[in-house]
């Protein structure tokens, strides 16, 4: 499938998904949201892809929601705007859930500004590597709205409750150095080396057993809402699947035949 607002490239098993509205700083409108959902579903189901990198074309990662689209919505009648808003947020939640539950590693390579929903897109990924000139901002409060892309779920898990409140309530901008210090990002990169460093990181997962990774990620994603007993129960079922997998058999045989 071809896209206009998403630039999908695959290099040696690593899928690069670039948000592709550089003239609008990759702000998310209906089209880019629909295309990103389709692209995420495609790479999720492609067995030849073992890792995904999400980034942005141009100088920005993602400026968040499209302000021009917001302005047009103000002209719609109240009842209609509520229904359309509900449908739009269902799509946003679908997009974020696809990233969060991606059955393979997904890395956000933040090449510039990540504001509002753009910052939430990065948080939904397993890992975040950002260029030294990246900028993060949960700017929702500046538009008199609340985070709708999972920021109120992901950010406290990254930086703690108090700091998450500070970032969301103030809408202040966070440079990459501070983002690294407080735990928003995992790695920082020279801007010119960002994609190569992200790819090298992704390549470390090339030999990871897919069933074991997928099941581990599923359980870890639920761990903060689960009791120890629940985690043990889920792990018991997952281990049964792992023990019967081809990857487990091959790993054991290779170890014994060293």
Residue at token pair 């009648």:
77
Rounded to 10 deg, the angle between the 151-159 and 117-124 helix axes is: 60
In the predicted structure, residue 76 carries a pLDDT above the cut 80: no
Return d(Cα 126, Cα 205) in angstroms, integer.
12
- Residues 119, 173: contact at Cβ < 8 Å? no
pLDDT at 82: 67
Across 51-84, b (16+ Cβ under 10 Å) vs e yields: bbbbbbbbebbbbbbbeeeeeeeeeeeeeeeeee
**What's the rounded Cα separation, in Å, for the pair 234 and 216?**
10
> How far is Cα 216 from Cα 91, in angstroms, rounded to an integer?
26
Percent of the chain with pLDDT over 70: 95
Reading the block at residue 140, the tokens are 């929702």
Strand order through the sheet with 173-175: 113-115, 135-137, 173-175
Q: How far apart are CA 164 and CA 185, in angstroms?
A: 14
Q: Round the average pLDDT of the chain to a whole number and report it.
A: 92
Pair type for strands 6-11 and 14-19: antiparallel
pLDDT at 252 over 80: no
Backbone angles phi, psi at 187, to 5 degrees: -145, 155
Question: Which phi-psi region, left, alpha or beta, contains residue 2 (left: φ > 0; alpha: ψ -120 to 50)?
Answer: beta
Q: Residues 91, 37: contact at Cβ < 8 Å? A: yes
pLDDT at 79: 63
pLDDT tens-digit readout, 177-225 = 999 999 999 999 999 999 999 999 999 999 878 888 999 999 999 888 8
CA 191 to centroid of chain Cα atoms: 20
pLDDT exceeds cutoff 90 at 236: no
Task: Tell me the C-alpha distance between 159 and 157, whole Å.
Answer: 6
| DSSP at 204 | T
Cβ neighbors of 149 (< 8 A, separation 6 or more) are 92, 96, 116, 117, 119, 120, 121, 124
Query: In the block, which residue shows the tokens 């901008």?
Result: 173
- For the chain, the domains span 6-203, 210-256
User: Tokens 């702000």 label which residue?
Assistant: 27
**Residue 35 burial (C-beta neighbours within 10 Å; 0-12, 13-18, 19+):** buried
> The dihedral of CA 162, 164, 168, 171: what is its sign?
positive
- pLDDT of 81 reads 66
Tens of pLDDT, residues 97-147: 999 999 999 999 999 999 999 999 999 999 999 999 999 999 999 888 889
CATH T-level assignment (fold) for domain 6-203: 2-enoyl-CoA Hydratase; Chain A, domain 1 (3.90.226)
């Amino acid at each position: 499938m071809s896209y206009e607002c998403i630039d999908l490239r695959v290099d040696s098993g690593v899928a690069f998904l670039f948000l592709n509205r550089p003239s609008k700083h990759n702000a998310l409108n209906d089209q880019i949201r629909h295309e990103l959902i389709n692209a995420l579903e495609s790479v999720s189901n492609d067995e030849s892809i073992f890792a995904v990198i999400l980034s942005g074309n141009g100088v920005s990662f993602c400026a968040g929601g499209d302000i021009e689209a917001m302005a047009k919505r103000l002209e719609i009648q109240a009842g209609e705007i509520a229904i359309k808003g509900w449908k739009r947020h269902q799509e946003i939640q679908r997009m974020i859930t696809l990233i969060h539950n991606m059955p393979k590693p997904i890395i956000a390579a933040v090449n510039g500004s990540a504001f509002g929903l753009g910052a939430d897109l990065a948080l939904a990924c397993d890992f975040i590597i950002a260029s030294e000139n990246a900028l993060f901002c949960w700017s929702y409060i500046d538009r008199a709205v609340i985070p709708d892309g999972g920021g109120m779920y992901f950010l406290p898990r990254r930086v703690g409750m108090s700091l998450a409140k500070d970032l969301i309530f103030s809408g202040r901008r966070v440079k990459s150095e501070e983002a690294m210090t407080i735990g928003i990002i995992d790695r920082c990169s020279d801007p010119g080396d960002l994609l190569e460093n992200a790819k090298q990181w992704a390549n470390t997962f090339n030999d990871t057993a897919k069933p074991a990774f997928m099941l581990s990620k599923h359980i870890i994603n639920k761990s903060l809402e689960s009791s120890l007993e629940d985690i043990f129960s889920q792990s018991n079922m997952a281990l049964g699947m792992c023990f019967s997998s081809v990857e487990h058999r091959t790993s054991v045989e290779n170890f014994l035949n060293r």
